[in-house]
Structure 1
Amino acid sequence: MRLDLLLVRLRFCKSRTVARCWIEEGHMRCSGHRVTRVQHAIAVGDVLTIPLDRHVQVIEILALPERRGPAAEAQSCYRKLDARASMAIAGTESRPRTAEH
């Protein structure tokens, strides 16, 4: 299934035009890889990183929806993952720095 269509059916976007804009801006990730093509194929098991207003939503695709149905139906097709556990800031160390004297 195309990424733009999936975003609409999962109710993250109201239209495919809005979904296309999000994808073409280059902020979307699929299984850790940057996605800039709206026709990118999505399969069950893929992990999507979706930038929303002031936070990032990380989801795992459990099923591909057949239609844009009610919110409960859409939410049953994915599960939310903890974004904090998978985020890393470039240039930081894995352990805290100690004060240098």
Structure 2
Amino acid sequence: MSESQAVRVDVWLWAARFFKTRSLAKQAIDGGRIDVNGGGCKPAKALRVGDRLEIGRGEERWQVEVLALSDKRGPASAAQALYRETEASRIAREAAREQRRLVGAGAPPKRPDKQARRELRRLKDSG
């Protein structure tokens, strides 16, 4: 892990394992899904210890505080040491995950399986 005064936001997001590649992190920044200290940013913005980030990825949102800087991607345990998620963010993420699970539990499968297709054909042919 390389400690320095400042690291590019896209590099830090990649090193902290929020995104699989730097180009995905750059696309998220360009798409407005990353805010630094309450405002938008560009991929090359210098990130410093103590900065607050709001990160949106899919349906999930994180609010994190930068604890350390790194420009190298390491193991997940090292990546988790780079930031601290706020308690409100963690609770909101878990509540949203539970809500998605409950909504998805009652939904029927997207496509009928072979047996269901045959049953549908039988119903259509008989009526």
TM-score, normalised to structure 1, is: 0.77
Note the residue ranges of structure 1 that are not aligned, 5 or more in a row. 86-101
In structure 1, the partner of 2:31 is 25
1:62 is aligned, of 46, 51, 67, to 67
Matches within 5 A, 1:6-21: 6-21=12-27
The structure with the largest helix share of the pair is: 2
Stretches of 4+ aligned residues off by more than 3 angstroms: none
Q: In angstroms, what is the RMSD of aligned CA positions?
A: 1.6
Deviations 1:6-59 (A, max 9, x none): 011000111111111000011211011112x11011000000000022121010
Q: Secondary structure at the match of 1:34?
A: coil
Matches within 5 A, 1:66-85: 66-81=71-86, 82-83=88-89
TM-score, normalised to structure 2, is: 0.62
In structure 2, the partner of 1:5 is 11
Q: Computing the radius of gyration over CA atoms, which structure comes out larger, 1 or 2?
A: 2
- Cα 1:84/1:74, change in 2 over 3 Å: closer
- The amino acid across from 2:32 in the alignment is G
In structure 1, the partner of 2:122 is none
**Structure 1 residue 83: Cα displacement:** 2.8
Percentage of identical aligned residues: 36
Deviations 1:42-87 (A, max 9, x none): 00000000002212101000010252100010001110012389xx
Note the residue ranges of structure 2 that are not aligned, 5 or more in a row. 1-6, 92-127
| Contact 2:15/2:70 (8 A) holds in 1 | yes
